[in-house]
Structure 1
Amino acid sequence: MGKIPQGAIPHHCFHVLNVYFRTGHIAVANTIESMDSCRIGWGKIKKVNDNYLIVKTQQLTHQDNKLILSEEIDKTIAFKLLSKSFVNAPQVGDIISYHWGWACDKITPKQAFNLKKYTQACLDIANGLTKLN
């Protein structure tokens, strides 16, 4: 096994956005949907229901032969099952992280900023805008 290339980012999103294409997969709808579900997303809570949150977020999409984050959308995210949750007492306006459609944690604006920053860096690598050595 060779060395990890210079410029690789030790972030889950690097794996999600780059391994698919490096292993011969192509950008088809179900692949993009799986990649979007697997990446760690973030968003602001707009509505709290019994077991679900409506969150303002972005989704991964394929446009002009590039992976990008969409304009903001409303997305339903599960946060509770059998009275158990990783996110205690979510409120409208809270920012959360999510993975595979499940709320993981309340996060700070700085943490959301960093998720966006590193997600964009991983997108740039996947799109060939940043080269790995």
Structure 2
Amino acid sequence: MKFVLLVHSTPQPWGHPTGDFVAEHQALPAEQRRQMETDFEALLTEMQERGEFVTAEALGDPASSRLFRWADGEPIATDGPYAETKEQFAGYFLIDVVDRDRAEELGRRFAGPGETIELRPLMWPGGEEQNVG
């Protein structure tokens, strides 16, 4: 079952890993931040060993985005970000797990101070969620 873990965050300045640039994470004691980094690296290793990690990408600053919308019968381009919002889409991890319970476990383990993790199933081309059996 494939899911995507969407990372929503607003690092200042924009950078990755986002936790290094988020006030809530920076406010933690240094030892706790180091332990969280160690735990996250161990999680990624575990996912790779189990064949659950498919791919991941960090995204650039939303201010550098270009938006394309349909207006008056044709696409028009405008500068980003998409919307005024507290958090922006910062990156994603594509995972392939045995069931939704495992996906939710990983979502909880990905969550960190100053970030929101959104778990969403992928869909087949016909519109059906891939994890629907």
Task: Flag whether TM exceeds 0.5 (same fold).
Answer: no
Normalising by structure 1, report the TM-score: 0.24
Normalising by structure 2, report the TM-score: 0.24
